[in-house]
Amino acid sequence: MSRRENQYDVIVVGGGVVGVSSAYVLAGRGKRVLLLERYAPAHQHGSSHGDSRMFRFDYEENVYVEMASRAFRFWEDLAKRLGRPLFRQTGICNLAPADAEVLGILETRLRECGLPYERLAGVAFSRRFPQLNLPRTSEAIHQPDSAVLFADVLVRSMWDCVREDGVDALTETEVAAIDPREDRVEVTASDGRSWSAASLVLAAGGWTGRWLDALGIKAKLVITRELLAYFPQAGPVSHEAGAMPNVIDYHTADPFYCVPQVQVPGVKAGCHRTGRIVDADDPEDVDRVNLAAVQAFVGRRCPHLFRNPVTVKHCLYTNSADYHFILDRHPDYSHVVVAAGFSGHGFKFGPVLGEILAAKLYDETPPVDTSLFALARFTRPGELKPRTIA
Ligand SMILES: Cc1cc2nc3c(=O)[nH]c(=O)nc-3n(C[C@H](O)[C@H](O)[C@H](O)COP(=O)(O)OP(=O)(O)OC[C@H]3O[C@@H](n4cnc5c(N)ncnc54)[C@H](O)[C@@H]3O)c2cc1C
């Protein structure tokens, strides 16, 4: 291999939605990019696979709302570039007891951000959303702009796009060593191939923690394997995206969610952040207790679905200590940026994460305020600095 062939402007480690989005943005800036992925695009072992992800704006923190708005425009442009749909607008219903604090917080946030919403209850709710059973003492906040992203399709399409845009995108390539030098980074694969670049984006999902330790970064990531199951329709009421909204149900401390049917038969349902703590390479096994809880949720909330799932799947959450993202430069090597800790809600923001990481690499002001995502919030692995009140 000639010297030029293994030299890049940027090496991106990890080809999930975050890594491939970063490669997409960097290639768009004219950078010579190498994208390295241990498996294949949208493989089943990480976090970015499956038919669907919720796209929603209803966040408590303003920065996520801004990021969602920016990301939505990007997904629209990508769909235009490809000439095919990559998402379906379906709206979202946040369900909770009428006096629950969460409804008030969401309502305030949506109002402040100028996003449309309705508060619904009783007959008005059940006429509109016959797929869902809402207790008489509960209410829903419906936000109509939410969508379902076609996750597998998006990740594979982005891989096709980055290759078209000149990125060297390698699958079945496991990075075994990352060696940051003063002005470059050397990367070696487990089969002995090696490359060098001016900068590096570390986007290794559930495997990032190992690199944080090796690179001396003070953040701890807790990996959970989350269960999701697909429940088939039991009657004539349509549960397709467009007819049925996304749902987040705050009646329990750990919210349940469901996503309307997209490509895989059945409505997807799960319970947020209730998966077992694992090592990302541990073998999969079905958590029967968790599955029973999800079935019970479907039984009480979705009267027109069978309670026996057609499929049960798993997916990794990479949780940071405060469930906010980590998007920052290495404290000692400013040409290395870390993208991790997406804590079960990162997919929708993919391209904006790429923009933020590119801005960090080139010492530019990122498109949104990234202070929430700084490494400086950790004092030691697993510990956060107490919040200072300005
Ligand atoms: C059940 C579930 C539901 C979710 N629902 C939503 C939702 O509705 N909306 C939303 O926005 N988000 C959602 N998320 C979160 C979202 O899917 C993740 O935040 C996002 O996919 C994380 O992407 P990633 O690129 O960081 O990780 P990954 O997709 O895991 O990508 C990391 C990649 O790095 C590769 N890699 C690791 N180590 C190496 C190495 N040494 N060499 C080469 N490659 C390596 C891995 O193979 C992997 O492909 C959900 C997640 C789960 C699990």
User: What structural domains does the chain harbor?
Assistant: 4-48+152-219+322-383 (3.50.50.60), 92-144+222-319 (3.30.9.10)
Q: What is the distance, to the nearest Å, from the Cα of residue 166 to the centroid of all Cα atoms in its chain?
A: 25
- pLDDT computed for residue 386 by the predictor: 61
Closest atom of ligand 1 to 347 CA is 11
Closest atom of ligand 1 to 17 CA is 25
Ligand 1 touching residue 142 (CB < 6 A): no
Q: Ligand 1 centroid vs 104 CA: distance in angstroms?
A: 31
- pLDDT computed for residue 388 by the predictor: 43
* Contact partners, residue 76, CB within 8 Å, separation at least 6: none
Specify the residue with its C-alpha closest to ligand 1, atom 20: 347
- pLDDT computed for residue 104 by the predictor: 94
Closest atom of ligand 1 to 226 CA is 1
Ligand 1 touching residue 345 (CB < 6 A): yes
- pLDDT computed for residue 4 by the predictor: 65
Closest atom of ligand 1 to 345 CA is 12
Of residues 263, 250, 325, the one with CA closest to residue 52:
263
Amino acid code (one letter) for 120: L
- pLDDT computed for residue 389 by the predictor: 38
For residue 203, what are the CA distances in angstroms to 20, 158, 382? 9, 15, 19
Ligand 1 touching residue 347 (CB < 6 A): yes
- pLDDT computed for residue 383 by the predictor: 74
Long-range contacts of 383-388 (CB under 8 A, 24+ apart): 383/321, 384/321, 384/322
Most ligand 1 atoms within 8 A of CB, residue of 20, 52, 53 to mutate: 53
- pLDDT computed for residue 387 by the predictor: 52
Q: Ligand 1 centroid vs 83 CA: distance in angstroms?
A: 25
- pLDDT computed for residue 268 by the predictor: 98
- pLDDT computed for residue 326 by the predictor: 97
Write out residues in the chain with pLDDT < 70, as ranges.
1-4, 382, 385-390
Specify the residue with its C-alpha closest to ligand 1, atom 13: 345
Specify the residue with its C-alpha closest to ligand 1, atom 50: 344
- pLDDT computed for residue 60 by the predictor: 86
Ligand 1 touching residue 302 (CB < 6 A): no
What confidence tens digit (pLDDT) does each residue in 262-317 have? 988 999 999 999 999 999 999 988 999 999 999 999 999 999 999 999 999 999 99
Q: Ligand 1 centroid vs 347 CA: distance in angstroms?
A: 7
- E strand map for 267-344: 267-271, 276-277, 311-319, 326-329, 336-340
Q: What is the pTM of this model?
A: 0.96
Q: Ligand 1 centroid vs 275 CA: distance in angstroms?
A: 15
Q: Ligand 1 centroid vs 17 CA: distance in angstroms?
A: 6
Ligand 1 touching residue 91 (CB < 6 A): no
Tell me which residue has tokens 């008030």.
104
Ligand 1 touching residue 261 (CB < 6 A): no
Bridge partners, 228 (sequence order):
270, 313
